[in-house]
């Protein structure tokens, strides 16, 4: 087992233990990052949803379909990337009457609780590019709660987490484009821009 794989497994076990300690009475399922542990490109989403929780893998189900389209445009295989989320469990709210769970945005406390998990993944994988999807990962990676995807999308910029420096490439979250056609065009042109930029840097498969 490579040193990186072992280090990520240790981080995953520590993260699992933390969730058990903090959410003792609630069943929080850890959905840790996965993929190429030496990937040049790390993709960071917001938090897992229902399918991700059932399969304990990030970006599967509906979000996985969005991801497949994204990968097709940038001409990369899923296995070439490291894929993760800021929050490593599904933030839910329960319907008052039925008790049925639905997704909700993560709280500041949840993001803070999971911060060191993402920072640890970045420290171990040491990607050259971090692609964030939506506001939550953008603000977390920049450590700037006022950063806005509307102002930064599609523009690469230098960034760092801990000792690792990389290029941050912010994209809208693919889920946000479902009900907004004009945003969809923007998202697609940003992904094309990312694709061209990755090719220029010699970072495609
Ligand atoms: N699934 C994930 O794993 N992350 C997201 O941000 C959305 C869906």
Q: Which atom of ligand 1 is nearest to the CA of 58?
A: 3
Residue range of the domain that includes 129? 3-199
Residue 14, domain member (yes or no): yes
The residues, ordered by sequence, that sit 6+ positions from 126 with a Cβ below 8 Å of its Cβ are 164
User: What does 150-204 look like in DSSP terms, one character per residue?
Assistant: HHHTT--EEEEETTEEEEEEEE--GGGGTT-HHHHHHHHHHHHHHHHHHHHTT--
Task: Report pLDDT digits (tens) over 105-147.
Answer: 999 999 999 999 999 999 999 999 999 999 999 999 999 999 9
Residue 75, domain member (yes or no): yes
Report the number of distinct structural domains present in the chain: 1
Cα dihedral 96, 60, 134, 69 sign? negative
Residue 84, domain member (yes or no): yes
Q: Does 181 have pLDDT greater than 90?
A: no
Residue 205, domain member (yes or no): no
Q: Which of 108, 99, 167 is nearest to 139 (CA)?
A: 108
Mean pLDDT, rounded, for 49-73: 92
Task: Report pLDDT digits (tens) over 24-35.
Answer: 988 899 999 999
pLDDT at site 134: 95
The best mutation among 33, 45, 140, 170 to test binding of ligand 1, ranked by most ligand atoms within 8 Å of the C-beta, falls on: 45
Residue 177, domain member (yes or no): yes
Residue 134, domain member (yes or no): yes
CATH number of the structural domain spanning residue 87: 3.40.470.10
The best mutation among 30, 68, 85, 87 to test binding of ligand 1, ranked by most ligand atoms within 8 Å of the C-beta, falls on: 85
Residue 204, domain member (yes or no): no
Q: What is the Cα 83 distance to its own chain's centre?
A: 6
Q: Is the CB of 33 under 6 A from ligand 1?
A: no
Residue 78, domain member (yes or no): yes
pTM here is 0.96
């Amino acid at each position: 087992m490579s040193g990186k794989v072992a280090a990520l497994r240790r981080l995953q076990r520590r993260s699992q233990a933390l969730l058990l300690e903090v959410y003792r009475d609630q069943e929080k399922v850890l959905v840790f990052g996965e993929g190429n542990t030496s990937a040049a490109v790390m993709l960071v989403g917001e938090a897992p949803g229902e399918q991700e929780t059932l399969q304990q893998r990030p970006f599967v189900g509906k979000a996985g379909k969005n991801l497949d389209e994204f990968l097709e445009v940038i001409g990369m295989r899923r296995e070439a990337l490291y894929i993760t989320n800021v929050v490593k469990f599904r933030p839910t709210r329960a319907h008052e009457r039925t008790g049925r769970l639905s997704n909700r945005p993560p709280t500041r406390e949840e993001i803070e609780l999971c911060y060191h998990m993402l920072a640890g993944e970045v420290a171990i994988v040491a990607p050259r590019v971090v692609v964030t999807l939506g506001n939550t990962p953008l603000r977390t990676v920049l450590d700037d709660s006022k950063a806005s995807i509307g102002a930064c999308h599609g523009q690469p910029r230098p960034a760092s987490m801990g000792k690792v420096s990389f290029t941050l490439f912010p994209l809208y979250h693919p889920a946000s484009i479902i009900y907004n056609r004009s945003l969809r065009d923007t998202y697609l042109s940003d992904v094309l821009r990312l694709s061209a930029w990755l090719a220029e840097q010699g970072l495609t498969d």
